[in-house]
Amino acid sequence: MEKKTVFGIGLAVGLFVGMALMIATHFVLLPIRSNMLWGEVLSPEAKIMQIYSILERHSIVPFEKDVLLDNMYRGLLEGVGDPYTYYFNREALELFFERTEGTYAGIGMLVTMEPDDHFITVVNIFAGSPAEAAGLLPGDRIAEVDGADMRGKRTDEVTSLVRGIPGTYVTVGVVRGDSPEILRFGILRQQINVPTVHQQMLPGGIGHIRIESFDRVTCAQFSEAYILLRSQGMQGLIIDMRNNPGGLLETVVNIGNLILPQGVILYSENVQGERIAYESERDNRIDMPLVLLVNGGSASASEVLTGAVRDHGVGTVVGQQTFGKGVVQSLFMLGDGSAIKATIARYYTPSGISIHGEGITPDIIVEVDRETARMAQRLDYEDDIQLQRAVEVIREKF
């Protein structure tokens, strides 16, 4: 009987303690659960510090603080949902400045992001470059750099890895055509002086100037080519901007000053509705037949010049629908030497047309398949039906 009494008391005490623990647990967990459901008001700074503190104390995956923060800044700007708004750390910013100046250490190619599959794709290979010697081709899609997966990466991320110290090697893996196989090329980096302009005299006194990008050196190179061809008796001019992804607005405005009548080359409009007009300072209207040759790889600054030439009625546009990038980016420096590039305005042709997302439809459409379009800069004249049609248009104007 005594054992039963002790057992009964023990059972009652156990039940009481258990109920007390359940009640205590309920009231301890309830505020935490409530916070999880409803949240507290945290500043972004406090939330970032909380996350970093948790990772620092508990993560078994090693990480570098600087890499973590760089990715956070990039992610913040990706939240804008604009492919042209992004973050440059100091190293990436230095490479960006090198590229726009027209000299850098790399392998000698131009790339762009394909909008349909988000591959960084080669659009041009510089003549005599390490990339040409290795066997890279326009249209190659960059899948790897030094073994790291590049699919889904931004253009600046890929190019910053391809570039580096002259005399060092980089291994670039590409996907070519419809084959899933990755072709890998070991390429020696060299100092690259970007040849952004090429010229030749075609039969019949027709000058052909190809502009590959609008870098800081491009206007001087274009002016030199233009003067040279005129001295050789040029009677008509084809400006070829196929697969030209754009570049500096200042550069294309300066080139416009060489061939356009006095007046507006383009104007931009910002979020406040303020307009800035970029004008040709004097009447330098070209005094000979002019054709602009474009395709789906002609973007941004290429479209600025195309729209201005068309609106001023000084030339004919031949080729395929242009890319359709009609927005302006500006670089904003941050206090630690990094920067962000943000889209700050739309641009409009002189007649007020916005081509963003639409592109420019040529006056004379000459369709070619995608692979031929990518190889435009490397085609022989006999195989280049778009250039042949441009020549015909010039001759009709004589």
- Our answer to whether residue 311 is catalytic in this structure is yes
Does the pLDDT of residue 32 top 80, yes or no? no
- Report the pLDDT averaged over residues 224-230: 97
Mean pLDDT of the region 204-215: 95
- Element counts in the chain: helices (H) and strands (E): 11, 19
Cβ atoms of 312 and 350 closer than 8 Å: yes
Angstrom distance (rounded) from CA 43 to CA 261: 54
Q: How far apart are CA 118 and CA 110, in angstroms?
A: 16
Q: Which of 97-106, 170-179, 205-214, 224-233 has the lowest mean pLDDT?
A: 97-106
According to the model, what pLDDT value does residue 30 have?
39
Rounded to an integer, what distance in angstroms lies between the CA atom of residue 89 and that of residue 339?
7
- Examine the pLDDT at 34 and tell me if it is beyond 90: no
Query: What is the mean predicted confidence (pLDDT) over 345-370?
Result: 95
pLDDT of the residue at 151: 86
Check whether 292 has a pLDDT greater than 60: yes
Q: What average pLDDT is seen over the chain?
A: 87
> What is the average pLDDT across 119-129?
86
Q: For residue 258, name the pLDDT band (cuts at 50, 70, 90).
A: very high
- Residues 177-187: what's their mean pLDDT? 93
What is the predicted pLDDT for the residue at 24?
35
Distance CA 220, CA 254 (A): 9
Mean pLDDT of the 18-24 span: 38
Q: Between 378 and 367, whose confidence is greater?
A: 367
Say yes or no to pLDDT of 19 above 70: no
The verdict on domain 104-193 having CATH code 2.30.42.10 is yes
Burial class (CB in 10 A: 0-12, 13-18, 19+), 87: buried
218: helix, strand or coil: helix
User: What is the share, in percent, of the chain residues with pLDDT greater than 70?
Assistant: 89
- Is the model's pLDDT at 18 over the cut of 70? no
Which tens digits make up the pLDDT trace of 45-62?
Answer: 999 999 999 999 999 999
pLDDT at 132: 93
Residue 371, pLDDT score = 87
Amino acid 11: pLDDT:
37
Q: Which amino acid is at 125?
A: I
From the list 129, 268, 300, 302, the catalytic residue is 300
pLDDT at 308 over 70: yes
262-265, Cβ contacts within 8 angstroms, sequence gap of 24 or more: 263/312, 263/350, 264/308, 264/350, 265/304, 265/308, 265/350
pLDDT for the residue numbered 194:
75
- Mean per-residue pLDDT for 140-145? 94
Q: Is a pLDDT exceeding 90 seen at residue 189?
A: yes
The reply to whether 325 belongs to the active site is: yes
Model pLDDT, residue 168: 94
Do the beta carbons of residue 183 and residue 173 sit within 8 Å?
Answer: yes
Give dist(CA 71, CA 347) in Å, integer.
Answer: 31
Q: Is the pLDDT of residue 163 over 80?
A: yes
pLDDT exceeds 60 at position 394: yes
Catalytic residue among 280, 311, 341, 384: 311
pLDDT of residue 10: 46
Helix axes 65-78 and 44-58, enclosed angle (nearest 10):
140
List the chain domain ranges: 104-193, 197-397
- Note the pLDDT of residue 22: 38
**∠ at Cα 354 (351, 358), nearest 5°?**
130
Q: How confident is the model at residue 115 (pLDDT cuts 50, 70, 90)?
A: low
Q: Which of 129, 240, 325, 384 is catalytic?
A: 325
Q: Which residue has the higher pLDDT, 152 or 121?
A: 121
What values do phi and psi take at 357, rounded to 5?
80, -5
Question: Is the domain defined by 197-397 classed in CATH 3.40.50.2000?
Answer: no
Looking at per-residue confidence, does 3 or 51 come out higher? 51
Q: Which residue has the higher pLDDT, 124 or 210?
A: 210
Task: Specify the range with the lowest mean pLDDT, choosing from 58-67, 116-125, 140-149.
Answer: 116-125
